[in-house]
């Protein structure tokens, strides 16, 4: 489980992420596997879980969309630190 939601075994990748890429993004299982560094079998198991428990995953996806809609996802330069080993960069005036 990942925050109370089903996830890929041994990974911090939610089943709902894989489902979103497949259903909303139209990505193939092979492409999803490559994007997340998974085996294709992991993607197929995630999709099988979705088809076995569609209401559960739909509820997870609704909650995730609701959280995203209510949050300020804007990243401001002052919120980001320097890269490891790098020097801080002053913003343009």
> pLDDT tens digits for the chain (93 residues)?
656 778 898 898 999 999 999 998 999 999 999 999 999 999 999 999 999 999 998 898 888 788 778 766 565 555 444 444 444 445 554
Least Cα distance to 17 among 40, 50, 41 occurs for 50
Q: What is the pTM of this model?
A: 0.66
CA-to-CA separations, 35 to 11, 43, 79, in angstroms, rounded: 14, 11, 27
Q: Which domains does the chain have, with CATH numbers?
A: 1-68 (1.10.10)
């Amino acid at each position: 489980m990942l925050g109370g939601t089903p996830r890929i075994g041994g990974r911090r990748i939610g089943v709902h992420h894989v489902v979103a890429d497949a259903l909303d993004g139209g990505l193939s299982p092979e492409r999803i596997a490559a994007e997340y560094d998974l085996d294709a079998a992991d993607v197929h198991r995630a999709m099988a879980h979705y088809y076995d428990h569609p209401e559960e995953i739909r509820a997870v996806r609704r909650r995730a969309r609701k959280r995203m809609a209510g949050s300020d996802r804007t990243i401001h330069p002052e919120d980001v630190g320097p890269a490891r080993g790098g020097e801080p960069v002053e913003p343009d005036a």
